[in-house]
Each structure stands twice: as structure tokens, then as C-alpha cells.
Amino acid sequence: MLSMDMYPSLALGPQRIGDCFYRDREPPAHMPLFPPACEVAQRILAPPPAVPNEPTTKTQKDEVKMELENASLWKQFSSVGTEMIITKKGRRMFPGLRLKLSGLNPALRYILLLDIIPVDNSRYRFQGGGWQAVGGAEARLPDRVFIHPDSPATGAHWQSRTISFHYAKLTNNTLDSQGHIILHSLHRYQPRIHVIEARDVLRWGGGQHSFVFPETQFITVTAYQNNRITELKINSNPFAKGFREEGMNSKKQRDARQKRKITVLTETLDIVNCDPCDSTQLLPQPEGSTDLQALALASLPQLPNPCGYRPEDAPYQDTLVPEQPLDLGQAFMHSNQMPVSISMTGGMQDTPGSEVANSIIERSDTMGDPAYTSSFPAAPANSSFPSASLPQSSSFPSLPNSSNTTDVQPSIPPIDYPATLSSSPTLSSTSSSPSLQQTSFTFPTPPPSNSSSPQPLLPSSSSPCSNTYHTIPPPNPELISPHTPTDTAFPQPSSSCQSGLQDQMSAHSLLSQGEPIAGGNNSPTDQTSAVFIYPNVLPANPDSAPVHAQPLPNQNQPPAPTLPYSMPTHCASTSFSFHSVPPHMQNLSFPNVPPSSAHPALHLPNLSHQAQAPALAAPFPPSSFTHPSSTLPHPPFQPSSCLAVSSSFQQSSAPSMPQAAHSQNLHNAPAASSTSSSYPSVEIGAFPQFNPPAPYRPEMVLHHPSLLPQLDPSLSSCLPSSAAPPTLYPAFSSYPLRLCQDPHSSLSIPLRHLYRQHQHGHAHPQGAYLDMSARAVF
DNA sequence: TCAACTCACACGTTTGAACCGG
DNA sequence: ACCGGTTCAAACGTGTGAGTTG
């Protein structure tokens, strides 16, 4: 039976609540929309329920590490300004995310999630050879998470092979029903990987780790803007082999084909236009002869490279078309990329499907870190995000070396994630290590009865999250969540970066939504309040949402419209929060949702996010898009310290701002609906329910009872308390949550199968997607 | 007019069923 | 009947370029 336990650790965090970008709306528009990376990452983590029975957890958590195997490849792209094509049907990422995990408990099961968050609130345009912010970001799209097909799998499994998320697809189709990750074109994004402990099929929780690799930032496009990127893609992606010099789809070949086509067409026309009987028309013509020759060449089985050129033999640069002087990115390449070019000869570095092959050694590696290193001088240790990946330094920006380009201003703000990088030890090194490794501890879903009263964890907000990107000591379970089990398998996160934890806590509180939250004292809000508070966000109706209703410290911010208010009752159901799911992921999207979902009202939940803006403001360099200085009382985010975390922390330090975001969303929500806020807690079905993996890739929809109320207010009364085990419901026409299992998945226990959407015949061939678009749709 | 987007296209890779032999 | 290897075709992934959209 499904239960809240499913994703205990995942909770709606403040982050997502507010993280909606308003381009045109007044108040929101001016607020910094995106939280600092660290903060974001932490927010993802829901307050983990303490897992009492697992002593080893703590140790292991502290050691959990993730490496980006193809970091060198990513850095190559990053140095130029990574672009990712997005299409309506969905496009895979290239390079793909190839990871190595270590430090996991071999015996425990983990679920790996991938989500992609906007780096800032700007829209970009490729101008003057570089990317420049040209305006505000589009309204945030439904948040979706890609669940690694192998999930859940044991720590041994994850650690024994290269983990690849190449199945994940990106789309710009806001109505996408395939479960692909929806992104806006010409926006900058940052992928994140989350490792969530699934103690068993029934329960998620115990530990959560989020990893962010700055070099994996990218700008979405519908067509490549930078020739450099095109070159890199062609030379690195096996699927694009045909476009290489030696390929049959190369420029030469295409030209030849074109000629051929024209010739044929011409001949045909001639034939048509002429008297069919006039054979003279068919006689060889000068043009035709020429074309034919071209054709002959083209048709040659293999067009030997006239020049004898072989990519393998020549440095990458050679393969590049010499027409990029103007391209800033190119200029940069010239200055730094010699190594890269050489490495490029290696060919595909990120081969799809490589995932299957365990422990694949990446060619990229062979490409030579040295090369990379040289190419990424900027990527220094602690530099702010990016040396490599970020613009200012070298990444996206206008590259210096081109004489004329120098004037080009870094299209991308120099410092995007200062904190992130700085905090990440790895960054300092060459590394592939995540800029931010955040560890949150989830509390195992304790039986409802067990819930202990939550307590504010965080000590002073000031406590530096410091650079510890490693696991943070888990907060005292008792303090954290009402659900906190008596036994603590997972140590509490250290106070240092607790913001995330608290955030999680708050999220967790959401979980409890239906569930009787510990007495008023125990209310989750109380617990989390200190940590993740979005002061700016003011709960509209604290009373209505007792749990979250802690008054926000900062009342300055205009009260965000309450979700309930904005949302039609029938629509209310569309948004759901998953406790177990990272905050930003907690939203469920329904295919049915009209595009209009972007409607401001719908975004309300995100307002909280905006509240966070202040922290972000500092980190983001002014772009064409002006970021209003935050009027908020909260101190600007400070990069050096614990990243966003600390900053958020500070903000949150305000007393009781439990999850402001939550409160915000929730405040209007009727108490009856439980914690239901704009993000009613939703649980994912328990794994036990799952059937053995099927050969096919069925679409699975998980419906939690808690969702029903939202769908239909009238049903709210029927909602079982959180304690009540979730029930399975036939798939809605609109499926809030979709889990697709990859047939290839090694899962012994498939995520899928809770429900199949009989209505939808299309299977999801690529892995599992957790559709959590939160946007209420109207 | 133009930037952004969509679509069909050709090529290459991947995948899995079918087949074969041991 | 089982296993492993090979072959083959379909599905899929990719960038391109023409056409469309706003």
C-alpha cells in the first residue's frame, strides 16, 4: 500500500514554491527569482527523517561522493558555452551526465534523480559571438524530475558502474506528456543530481544528497547558435558522426547531394517540359554532367578525405571550420583549447548507452585533463561558478582573445554561483566533483504515531555552511521532524548547512499534512521555521494553515497570492507537493494543464522563491536584465560562505519562518485539506506495490489520495489523513505524477507499476520520469 | 525584417528480435 | 532446452537547412 513513506525525505521546499519567474508581473518581476545554487540544492532536500535503525548511515552519508566522469568533456563545452537543443519531442542532453558514486551503503537502496533548474532569471541571446542576457526569464515551467531507470538500486549497484542520465530528454513543449524535462529556450540551466536513500521499497528517506556540477550548466536553444558548440557536438557525439568530415552527412556530402538533387530535378523538369518523345532533351547536358560528377563523388561508398584528413589524426581545431574569428567563444577556444582540440580527436566521449557498460572509461578522460586544465584556467578553485562553466570567465562569454571581441561584454554574468564553486572543494581542483554536495537527512517515514515534535534545528543561521560540500551532519532528528522516528538511523545533519535540512523539514512537515502533525508545538512549521524561511513570504492565512502558518519575519514582501485563491477549485488538484520529493520537484504537472498554466496565479507558489531573490541578487551580475535590488531586509547572499545555504540560512534565521514557501502556498489552503497548500503533499506509491519489471516501459502514474482533494475540493473531506495509507487511483486523464520504468533498468523493484495509464498508449522508452509539474493549470 | 522555432531529411547508432550453431 | 554469437531491420538520435511563425 502506498503511504507517505514513499518519499518521506522529499518535501516541498521553499525554493520551488517561490521559484517562478515573472517576467511581466510587477512585484515578482523585480525580485530575484533564483536562489543561489547552494541554497537551491539544499532546498531540494527535504528534511530527512531520521533513520533510527541505521547506525551506519551517518558515516556513510558523510562519505557520499559523486564524480562527473566526463567532466573534461563538459568543461570543453562549458569553455565555449554549452548549448543544449530542446525540441518538442524531446532531445537528449549531450554531453550526458555520467557519474560515479561512492560512499553509499552497499546494502541500502537509493534512488537517483535528475532535475534541471534555471541558473538565473534572465533570457539570453547569442550576440557578438557570446551569450548576453537580454531580458527577464520566462515564467518557470512545470518542474519535472528524471528518475534514473535503475532506481531504486543498492549502493553497491550504483557504485559498481558509471551512472548515466543520457536517457533524460529536454523539451520546450510546455504541454509535454512524455514526462520530459520542460525548459525554456534561451535560458540558462543547471542540472542537479539527487541521491535519495530508499531504505526499502516502501520507504524513501534516511538520506539525501544533492550534487551540482557547475560545468554542466548550459543554455537551451532550438538551434545551435555557436559554431564551436556545433563542432564539439559533432565531434563528440556518436550520433552525429555523419556530420563529421568523413561522414556521409558532412558538408561536402550534403552539397554533393544537393547538387544531385538539383540536377535530377532539372532533368526531370526538362523532361516534363519537353516533348516526352523528344529524346534530344535527355542528352547529356553540361550542367548535368557536372552534377553527375558531383553525384558520383557523393555516391562513392566512402569519400576518402581528399586531403587525407582524418579527425583522429588532426587536432580538433583542424576540424573546426575556420570561420569563427568573430565568435568570441571561438576566440576563447583558440586561446585555451589546443588541448581540447587534441582531445577531441578521441571522438565520442559520451556515448549513449555507455551507461550500460559498467565502469566505462571515458575517452574524455583520455582526452586529457591536462588539456582541460589548460583550457580552463579560470576554473580555479573557488572561483565563482565558473570559471569554466560560467561566462564571465570564459565559459559563455565573450572571449577575450578575439581582438574585436574583447569589447564584448560577458554575456553571462560573471558570477552565477559564486557560493557554489567556492564551496566546492572539487572545483578548486580540476574536478569533476560537484560544486555543491549537499546532504540532507531524511527521516524515515515513521509510523504516524511516532512522530516526534519537531524542533528548530538550526543554530544560528550564521553558522557557516562552509565549504563542506560533504555530507552534513544530520540534525537532531527529534528536532527536525515530527515524524522523526525514535531510532535514528541517520545522523542529523550538522547545523552548518542546515538550511537545506530545515527546508526539508518544512517539506517534511508538508508530508505530515494529512498526517496529524504533532501537536501545535510540533507543527512542522515550528521546526523548520528557523531554517528555511522566506521572510518575504508572508503566509496569507496562517490560521488556515496552522502547520505552516508561521508568520514570516519579513512582511515587506507583498503577500503572495494564495494559491487557493488563484486556483480554481477544480484546478487546485493540479498542483501537488511530494514530501518525499525535493521541493522543486514536488509539483505535479498534468498534461491536461493548458499552456496557460504559466498564468501568474499559478505561479503563486513560486513566489516564495522570489522572496529568496535577495540572496541571489548579489551573485548575479547585472545583465541587460536589471535585477532590482532587493528591498528585503535580508542580507544579500554571500558567496563565500555556505553559499546560498548560509544565506538562506540567515534569512531563515528569522524565527519561525518555517517554510515560508510552504506557508505561503499553504496559508490559504483550507486546513481541512490538511497541510494542503498550494502544494498539497503528495506521496508516491510505495514500491512494494510494484510489480516486477516489465519488459515494456509502461507509463505509470502514481496517485496519492492526498491528491484527490485538490483535484476536487468536494473530495477533500474524504482525504485520509496523512497517516492513512495512500491508495491507488486509476490514472486521471491528467496524470500528476508519472513514473516510467526503463525496461533496461536493472531495478529489481521497479518504480513503475503503481498505476498504468491505460489511457495513454505511448510508452516512455527512456527511463523513468517523475512528473511533478507543480504549476497549477487553468 | 528578423530572430526564433518547426519540420523533414539523411546519416549513423542503438536496440532487440530472429537465426544459427554448439 | 539452453547458451552464445551473428545478422538484420526498425527505432532512435543527430545536425542541417528550408520553411514557418510572431
For residue A242, which nucleotide's C1' is closest to its Cα? B11
Among residues A435, A375, A410, which one has the least CA distance to residue A217? A435
Mean pLDDT, range A320-325, rounded to an integer: 30
Q: Is the CB of A696 under 7 A from strand C?
A: no
Cell digits of residue A534: 522566506
pLDDT band at A690 (very low <50, low <70, confident <90, very high): very low
pLDDT band at A331 (very low <50, low <70, confident <90, very high): very low
State, as a whole number of angstroms, the distance between the CA of A115 and the C1' of C4.
40
For residue A126, which nucleotide's C1' is closest to its Cα? B3
For residue A238, which nucleotide's C1' is closest to its Cα? B13
State, as a whole number of angstroms, the distance between the CA of A707 and the C1' of C13.
37
For every residue of A607-662, DSSP letters joined together read HHHHHTHHHHHTTSPP-SSPPPPP-SSSPPP-STTTHHHHHHHHHHHSTT---HHH
CA angle A568, A574, A578 (to 5 degrees): 130
Rounded percentage of chain A residues whose pLDDT exceeds 70:
23
Instruction: In whole angstroms, give the CA distance from residue A604 to residue A585.
Output: 16
Q: Is the CB of A304 under 7 A from strand B?
A: no
- Residue A117: pLDDT above 90? yes
Residues 107-146 of A with CB under 7 A from strand B: 125-126
Closest residue to B5 measured CA to C1′: A222
Q: Is the CB of A765 under 7 A from strand C?
A: yes
Give whichever of A68-77, A531-540, A572-581 has the largest mean pLDDT. A68-77
For residue A93, which nucleotide's C1' is closest to its Cα? C13
- Residue A430: pLDDT above 80? no
Nucleotides of C under 7 A from a protein CB: 11-18
Q: Is the CB of A237 under 7 A from strand C?
A: yes
Runs of H (alpha helix) within A376-532: 418-423, 425-428, 477-480, 498-511, 524-529
Mean pLDDT, range A211-222, rounded to an integer: 94
Question: What pLDDT, on a 0 to 100 scale, did the predictor assign at position A342?
Answer: 33
Amino acid at A524: P
Q: Is the CB of A234 under 7 A from strand C?
A: yes
The residue ranking higher by pLDDT, A129 or A246, is A129
Question: What pLDDT, on a 0 to 100 scale, did the predictor assign at position A99?
Answer: 92
Question: Under 8 Å CB-to-CB from A314, ≥6 apart: which residues?
Answer: A345
- Residue A158: pLDDT above 70? yes
Provide the mean pLDDT of chain A: 46
Question: What pLDDT, on a 0 to 100 scale, did the predictor assign at position A128?
Answer: 86
**Cα–Cα distance list, A40 to A118, A272, A289 (Å):** 10, 65, 64
Question: What pLDDT, on a 0 to 100 scale, did the predictor assign at position A176?
Answer: 86
Out of A258-262, A391-395, A708-712, pick the least confident.
A708-712
Q: Is the CB of A766 under 7 A from strand C?
A: yes
Mean pLDDT, range A733-746, rounded to an integer: 31
Q: Is the CB of A239 under 7 A from strand C?
A: yes
At A221-274, the pLDDT tens digits run 999 999 989 999 999 998 988 888 776 777 777 676 666 666 655 555 555 444
- Residue A384: pLDDT above 90? no
Give the Cβ contact number of residue A543 at 10 Å.
10
State, as a whole number of angstroms, the distance between the CA of A480 and the C1' of B15.
47
Among residues A208, A211, A303, which one has the least CA distance to residue A252? A303
Out of A108-117, A247-256, A548-557, pick the least confident.
A548-557
Instruction: In whole angstroms, give the CA distance from residue A166 to residue A193.
Output: 13
State, as a whole number of angstroms, the distance between the CA of A768 and the C1' of C11.
19
State, as a whole number of angstroms, the distance between the CA of A186 and the C1' of C17.
21
Closest residue to C11 measured CA to C1′: A765
- Residue A72: pLDDT above 70? yes
- Report yes or no: A576 and A557 within 8 Å, Cβ to Cβ: no
Q: Is the CB of A230 under 7 A from strand C?
A: yes
Question: What pLDDT, on a 0 to 100 scale, did the predictor assign at position A564?
Answer: 28
State, as a whole number of angstroms, the distance between the CA of A64 and the C1' of C3.
39
**Cα–Cα distance list, A495 to A296, A442, A464, A553, A648 (Å):** 71, 15, 8, 21, 13
Could you tell me the pTM of the whole model? 0.47
Q: Is the CB of A254 under 7 A from strand C?
A: yes
Cell digits of residue A699: 507509463
pLDDT band at A81 (very low <50, low <70, confident <90, very high): very high
Q: Is the CB of A381 under 7 A from strand C?
A: no
**Cα–Cα distance list, A209 to A98, A299, A455, A481, A653 (Å):** 17, 53, 22, 18, 23
State, as a whole number of angstroms, the distance between the CA of A615 and the C1' of B2.
37
Q: Is the CB of A94 under 7 A from strand C?
A: yes
For residue A237, which nucleotide's C1' is closest to its Cα? C14
- Residue A390: pLDDT above 90? no
The residue ranking higher by pLDDT, A241 or A599, is A241
Q: Is the CB of A221 under 7 A from strand B?
A: yes
Asked if the peptide bond before residue A464 counts as cis, ω within 30 degrees of 0, the response is no
Q: Is the CB of A223 under 7 A from strand B?
A: yes
Cell digits of residue A547: 502547520
